[in-house]
Every structure is written in structure tokens, then in C-alpha cells.
């Protein structure tokens, strides 16, 4: 167990020493931990962004990986510090909705309100629980300490309101929820949603910001360079992209939040 992976996801950025310090704390407790940064560029305080990112990423890691997530706008206030065992993974962070997509997806789940100060740093600041509480707890979990030794089981974790697409009769209405580095617009419409609504991926047209895309492509190069397309992205959600370009540049700052419609393509199908 000593060698297990600890991933770190924060909104701390990479300019300050905050993340480095958390790693120092972890390695002081478990020198064998294998540390992996997911990202530290979550928009400050954006719990929803972190929750989505984590949900897409967590299952690609080895069994017993501890996912440490510190996006904690309420640090020092009343929100509870928690640790979770969900299936074969552990999670540590504030109880503010960050873990709701994982909690709601897993039946085999244990959530513990972290109350045992034995597993915290001795001095606890009121502004940096990432260092003082969450990093040491993650390190102890990676060494095999049981969650129930660290606090008390709870069953009322904070929920996260997630905007789901509307699956209507012969139409889906969703929206763009994230823009990635390449300018791909990632929607909240999953492949599963599309199959559920239409029974197929072919013969469907996508509309976004007044532009029509005649079908859902398999890959970027299905369309000419520079052309707008829609495809199922690597995490199973509909993405709007431009082959060798950026859909974000096309739609600009309004891209995030744009409505996306899927309908049967009456002429082509």
C-alpha cells in the first residue's frame, strides 16, 4: 500500500509554493507515495469545474489511488473536511460538492467526516487546510490507515447541482460547459444521452450559436481543415471542434454556456 499513487487537483495555480508545500507534507509522512498532478489551474473556487474534471479522470488510475482535491472557497468556515472510499479509490477534500458526481455514481461508498486531529498537522491554520488537514490525511490513507480511524461516517454529503441536458421527443437541448486547451467546446450531452433519445449517432444534426453541423463525425479529420464539426470526445461527451483549429475562436467568449441542439437530419438520413 505504501507505494500507492496520490493525485492532486487544486485551484492553487503554479506560481506560489502552495502545491509544493502539500507535497512536502505528504512525503514527510509517506516517502514512497507516487505523486501525480492532475491540474492546479481550476478556476479559483470553481467547484463544478473541479468536480467534472475529477469525474473524467479518476478511473484511469491504479487501484487504491488517493485523489486529493482542494478547491475550497469555504476554508476556515463550517464546511466539513471529508475522506471517501468509493469502489477501489479514495478521495480527500472539503465537503462542498466536489465529490458529488463520484458519490452519486458509486454504490460501494463510505464517507467520513475527518475529526481525528492525530492525522492532521499539529498547527492548523484557518486558510490552508490543503497543507494542514487534507495532505496529511491523504498521506496516511496511502499508508493504509482506515478511514473510520480518522473520523465518523456520514451520509449527508453536500450535493452539487449539475445542469443536465433536456431529452425531448426527437430533440436534445444541452449546453457547452467547458472549453479545453485546444478550443474544443465540451457539452453536457453524453453519448449515452444521444443513444437514449434517438437510438443512434448517425443521421443527426447539431446546432450551436446559429450554425448547423450536418452530422456527428467520428474524428477531426472527417471534415476539411478549418471546418466546424461535432464528435463524441474522449470522455464520452459531445464536443464541438474545428479540425486543426479552435471552435472557441469561432464563438468567442460566449462559447461557454451556449445552447446545443441535436435533431434528426431530415435531408440526409
- Residue 74, classed as helix, strand or coil, is coil
Q: With CB under 8 A as the contact rule, which of the stretches 56-64, 105-113, 137-145, 250-258 interacts with a second copy?
A: 56-64
Integer CA distances (angstroms), 17 to 63, 97, 128, 176, in order = 29, 26, 12, 33
Q: Are the beta carbons of 65 and 4 closer than 8 angstroms? A: yes
Q: Measured in Å, how far apart are the chain's first and last C-alpha atoms?
A: 54
Nearest to 183 by CA among 261, 256, 267: 256
Site string for a second copy, 160-199 (x = CB under 8 A): --------------------xxx-----------------
Q: How many residues bind a second copy (CB under 8 A)?
A: 63
* Binder of a second copy out of 131, 172, 193, 238 (CB under 8 A): 131
Integer CA distances (angstroms), 35 to 7, 14, 82, 168, 241, in order = 6, 15, 20, 44, 32
The reply on whether position 27 binds a second copy by CB under 8 A is yes
The reply on whether position 128 binds a second copy by CB under 8 A is yes
The reply on whether position 82 binds a second copy by CB under 8 A is no
DSSP collapsed to 3 states, 230-262: EEECCCCEEEEEECCCCHHHHHHHHHCCCEEEE
* Binder of a second copy out of 115, 202, 221, 269 (CB under 8 A): 221
Give the separation between CA 96 and CA 156, rounded to whole angstroms: 11
Q: With CB under 8 A as the contact rule, which of the stretches 19-27, 193-201, 208-216, 259-267 interacts with a second copy?
A: 19-27
* Binder of a second copy out of 68, 75, 147, 206 (CB under 8 A): 75
Site string for a second copy, 223-252 (x = CB under 8 A): --------x-xx----x----x-x------
Which residue lies nearer to a second copy by CB, 6 or 197?
Answer: 6
The reply on whether position 144 binds a second copy by CB under 8 A is no
Q: What is the dihedral of CA 23, 27, 31, 33, to 10 degrees?
A: -40
Q: What is the dihedral of CA 154, 156, 162, 164, to 10 degrees?
A: 110
Contacting residues toward a second copy, per CB under 8 A: 3, 5, 7, 9, 11-18, 20-21, 23-25, 27-28, 31, 34-41, 44-45, 53-54, 56-57, 60-62, 65, 73-78, 125-128, 131-132, 180-182, 218-221, 231, 233-234, 239, 244, 246
Amino acid at each position: 500500500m505504501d507505494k500507492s499513487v496520490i493525485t492532486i487537483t487544486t485551484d492553487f495555480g503554479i506560481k506560489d509554493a502552495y502545491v509544493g508545500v502539500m507535497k512536502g507534507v505528504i512525503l514527510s509522512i509517506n516517502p514512497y507515495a507516487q505523486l501525480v498532478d492532475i491540474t492546479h489551474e481550476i478556476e479559483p473556487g470553481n467547484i463544478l469545474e473541479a468536480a467534472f474534471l475529477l469525474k473524467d479522470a479518476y478511473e484511469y488510475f491504479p487501484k487504491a489511488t488517493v485523489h486529493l482535491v482542494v478547491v475550497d472557497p469555504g476554508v476556515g468556515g463550517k464546511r466539513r473536511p471529508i475522506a471517501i472510499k468509493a469502489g477501489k479509490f479514495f478521495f480527500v477534500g472539503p465537503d462542498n460538492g466536489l465529490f458529488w458526481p463520484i458519490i452519486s455514481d458509486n454504490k460501494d461508498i463510505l464517507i467520513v467526516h475527518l475529526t481525528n486531529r492525530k492525522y492532521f498537522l499539529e498547527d492548523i491554520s484557518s486558510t490552508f487546510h490543503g497543507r494542514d488537514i487534507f495532505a496529511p490525511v491523504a498521506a496516511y490513507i496511502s499508508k493504509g490507515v482506515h478511514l473510520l480511524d480518522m473520523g465518523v461516517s456520514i451520509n449527508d454529503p453536500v450535493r452539487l447541482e449539475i445542469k443536465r441536458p433536456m431529452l425531448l421527443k426527437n430533440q436534445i437541448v444541452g449546453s457547452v460547459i467547458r472549453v479545453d486547451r485546444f478550443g474544443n467546446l465540451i457539452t453536457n450531452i453524453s453519448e449515452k444521452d444521444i443513444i437514449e433519445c434517438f437510438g443512434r449517432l448517425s443521421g443527426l444534426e447539431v446546432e450551436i450559436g446559429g450554425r448547423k453541423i450536418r452530422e456527428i463525425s467520428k474524428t477531426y479529420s472527417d471534415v476539411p481543415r478549418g471546418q466546424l464539426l461535432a464528435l463524441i470526445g474522449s470522455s464520452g461527451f459531445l464536443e464541438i471542434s474545428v479540425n486543426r483549429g479552435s471552435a472557441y475562436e469561432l464563438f468567442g467568449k460566449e462559447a461557454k454556456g451556449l445552447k446545443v441542439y441535436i435533431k434528426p437530419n431530415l435531408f440526409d438520413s
